[in-house]
Chain A
Amino acid sequence: MRHAFILQDIEHLLWLSKRADGGFRLEAEGRSHDVALCPDGRLIVDGETTQIWIAASGDRIYAHVDGEAHELLYRDPISRFAQNRDGSTERLLRAPMPGAVVATPVAPGQTVVAGETLIVIESMKLETAIQSPRDGIVETVHLAVGQAFERDAPLITLAEA
């Protein structure tokens, strides 16, 4: 089972192995490459050296190379393949961006239909209505109007279908 990274919304599979001489071999996109990352930020791929800046925060890796910064997300294999046919993660709606709550039109216990607005958030003067992914019953409204939150903060939990 290969490692998966998301770059620009596309999943890339790769594997890294150690060669007998201590160097690393990267298998990616059907090819094998000799790779090394020096502590001073030099990245060597098949003998070609590039200066790179790299920093990791959790499963997110930020790298500046060839004049641009990019974000890669490491996907843990178990979460990657969890289908949740019981809908367990679909029950929790998270904030797509940081911001503050503008309106909470639904209350716990309320029956909602797919597409119904569950919470309205504001971020950089831009209002976003978070809609229900399915028919269901609201279990928890995690935030009150005016409360600020970070990206991925829990907003609404729907009861089990």
Chain B
Amino acid sequence: MVGLQGYLVVSAILFGIGAFGFMARRNAILMLISIELMLNSVNLSLVAFNAYIPAAHNAGAVFALIVMAVAAAEATVGLALVIAIIRTRQTPEVDEYHDLKE
């Protein structure tokens, strides 16, 4: 089981955990953390492909670095949005944000 497929299965499990956390948790910051988990699982699969498939020519490692940079940008903007929303609504629980519905 160790080898490329083992890493891919771990990556799939981590992605599932992140997707579950994003859909099920009520806290806005935890939803952002779950997005980070999903991005990390994709990074793990990219690095695993890069390591075990020689024809990749380092593309996986370069993509992993780019995904990290984009994830950092996403976390910055996402946390700024969450803090701005929490400042006006006084709660981090996402199901109490219903202004757009009214």
**Do A and B actually bind?**
no
Contact surface of B with A, Cβ cutoff 8 Å:
none
